[in-house]
Amino acid sequence: MAPLTRIGLAGLAVMGQNLALNIAEKGFPISIYNRSTVKVDETVQRAKAEGDLPVYGFKDPESFVKSIQAPRVIILLVKAGPPVDATIKSLVAHMEKGDCIVDGGNEWYENTERREKELAQQGLLYLGMGVSGGEEGARNGPSMMPGGSYEAFKYIEDILLRVAAQVDSGPCVTYIGKGGSGNFVKMVHNGIEYGDMQLIAEAYDVLKSVGKLSNEELHEVFSEWNKGELLSFLIEITADIFSIKDDKGEGHLVDKVLDKTGMKGTGKWTVQQAADLSIAAPTIAASLDSRFLSGLKEERVKAAEVFSSGVFGDSSIVVDKQKLIDDVRQALYASKICSYAQGMNLIRAKSVEQGWGLVLGELARIWKGGCIIRAIFLDRIKQAYDRNPDLANLLVDPEFAQEILDRQSGWRRVVCLAINSGISTPGMSSSLAYFDTYRRDRLPANLVQAQRDYFGAHTYERTDVPGSFHTEWFKLARQSKI
């Protein structure tokens, strides 16, 4: 009879397989299970091939659960929603009090909170754990965001600390907080990722369309950027993409990729949550809108014909290539600060609403490695929150404020150049608008408030006298016309 394993994992798509192999490689014998049994055999074979790793496959829920030492910990990597409920149901039938389930998928945080309560009634513990880093991260060290039962976290803390990406400040994992906080933080991480990818795409568009850079030149520019302040996973992979030749024809592969972006939903949830909490997240919202518009490929092709004769943008603009590259780098960095500021503000607002007590600097720390938004820049964010845990907005941290001021001329030049060239830069433009709105002590909102009072008697406050006021604007306006 085989000895009991330390942990179990159910759900063996790419992420599940890779995480199971990572856990086994770190010295923790693991039991695996999947509803379609082909995946079980496939994973066991990979474990043999990748170093005879201690991975044990099971074809039914009962033998799978019974193969794990008590108190049992089972990680699920199953498609979010009903499939998770169905998997939990099949496993719980064989589990005992004190056992624990960890959902590692991109789940809606309220589903995690519901499951935690339901399982608690049966004496079982539950964690909702965001896992970022894609298939490569899962295999070699992801960033992990566990939230829910602290007791459950303590069961697997030793495993998570070994399996997570390791950076100078330690493993990229920490107990996030109660309830669905782990899922919520991962959701916002994905929203920030949407913003980052959109800003990089806009930088590419301006350099290619206005600066007329070739793919070889773009590869060089992004490789160079990846050595400085923009050093990050997304910049690194972007540089790689520009170097890949098409294996099915002439030229570069990137030019043959259809310009329609897919999405799984976490970016949309982020924008919806921002609206629910009255947190401005224009950069993330702009990235979502851009994905929606990219989906209208057929309509865009027709619109391009309709507007082909109109003069769109000034094609006669001559630019200094080197100056443009430098300006775009500055615009990208400054816009990125705004995107992260919006994400952090959203996390903080939710933490206050739910009483989660999240530590923003610690989140920046665990995103430094393993995850898709990992970047040298996150070190700066951690330091900003270390200096002032109650920082109202990243933009007003003295260091970031100075960095934006140093880059704003280049940022403004890029946005103006794009507008005059008829190229949309919704991420960079909305980041700039966010900065320009946030830094002003007086906005035209006084007029909007007056309008609301005029047509709906919504009342307004005054700058000089406390209290609420209502004016019969219509009557006064009529009298003045007589």
Catalytic one of 113, 193, 202, 403: 193
Is there a binding annotation on residue 328? no
- Distances 145 to 20, 27, 153, 194, 265 between C-alpha atoms, Å: 17, 22, 11, 18, 19
Task: Residue 286: name the closest of 405, 409, 201, 406 by CA.
Answer: 201
- Distances 374 to 185, 232, 233, 459 between C-alpha atoms, Å: 15, 6, 6, 47
Is there a binding annotation on residue 420? no
Q: How far is CA 75 from the centre of its chain?
A: 22
The strand pairing partners of 127, in sequence order, are: 102, 148
Catalytic one of 186, 268, 336, 368: 186
Is there a binding annotation on residue 194? yes
If you write DSSP's letter for every residue of 233-245 in order, what string do you get?
HHHHHHHHHHHPB
Is there a binding annotation on residue 382? no
- What is the Cα–Cα distance from 249 to 293, expressed in whole angstroms? 28
Task: Give the angle 103-106-109 at the CA atoms, nearest 5°.
Answer: 80
193, containing H or E segment: helix 181-209
Is there a binding annotation on residue 79? yes
Residues comprising the chain, all counted: 482
Within 8 A by CB and 6+ apart from 20, the residues are 9, 12, 30, 32, 43, 47, 55
Is there a binding annotation on residue 134? yes
Is there a binding annotation on residue 410? no
- Token pair recorded at residue 477: 């306006």
Is there a binding annotation on residue 178? no
Is there a binding annotation on residue 345? no
Is there a binding annotation on residue 359? no
Is there a binding annotation on residue 15? yes
Is there a binding annotation on residue 106? yes
Is there a binding annotation on residue 169? no
Within 8 A by CB and 6+ apart from 445, the residues are none
Is there a binding annotation on residue 35? yes
Is there a binding annotation on residue 34? yes
Please, what is the end-to-end C-alpha distance for the chain in angstroms?
A: 99
Respond yes or no: is residue 193 known to be catalytic.
Answer: yes
Backbone angles phi, psi at 243, to 5 degrees: -95, -10
Strands 55-58 and 30-33: parallel
- Tokens 């702009």 belong to residue: 286
Is there a binding annotation on residue 267? no
The amino acid occupying position 377 is F
SS (H, E, C) 323-380: HHHHHHHHHHHHHHHHHHHHHHHHHHHHHHHHCCCCCHHHHHHHCCCCCCCCECHHHH
Is there a binding annotation on residue 14? yes
Strands 143-148 and 166-167: unpaired
Respond yes or no: is residue 475 known to be catalytic.
Answer: no
Annotated binding site for substrate: 106, 132-134, 189-190, 194, 264, 291, 452, 458
Per the annotation, where are the binding residues? 11-16, 34-36, 78-80, 106, 132-134, 189-190, 194, 264, 291, 452, 458
User: Active-site positions?
Assistant: 186, 193
Binding-site residues for NADP(+) sit at: 11-16, 34-36, 78-80, 106
